[in-house]
């Protein structure tokens, strides 16, 4: 099941739940139990993280 993000409109608690796609709009707030929750759009995973890649070229010996 896909994971969805929700925000409770009663206590503004944000949480995530695994829901089937056809019932993704049905969720209960785990904090106050309210049904007035709004589904948030989950941000896409960003590809590639900036980082210094250490390229070690050539190698002599070693063990």
Residue number with CB closer to Zn ion (31 or 42) = 31
Site string for Zn ion, 23-62 (x = CB under 5 A): ------x-xx-x----------------------------
Contacts of 54 (CB under 8 A, 6+ apart): none
CB of 25 to Zn ion, least distance (A): 16
11 binds Zn ion (CB under 5 A): yes
Cα-based torsion angle of the residue sequence 43, 1, 35, 37 in order, rounded to the nearest 10 degrees: 0
* Residue 3 in tokens: 């994971």
């Amino acid at each position: 099941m896909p994971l969805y993000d929700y925000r409770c409109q009663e206590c503004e608690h944000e949480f995530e739940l695994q829901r089937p796609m056809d019932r993704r709009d049905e969720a209960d707030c785990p904090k106050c139990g309210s049904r007035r929750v709004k589904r948030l759009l989950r941000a896409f995973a960003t590809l590639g993280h900036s980082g210094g890649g250490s390229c070690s070229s050539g190698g002599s010996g070693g063990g």
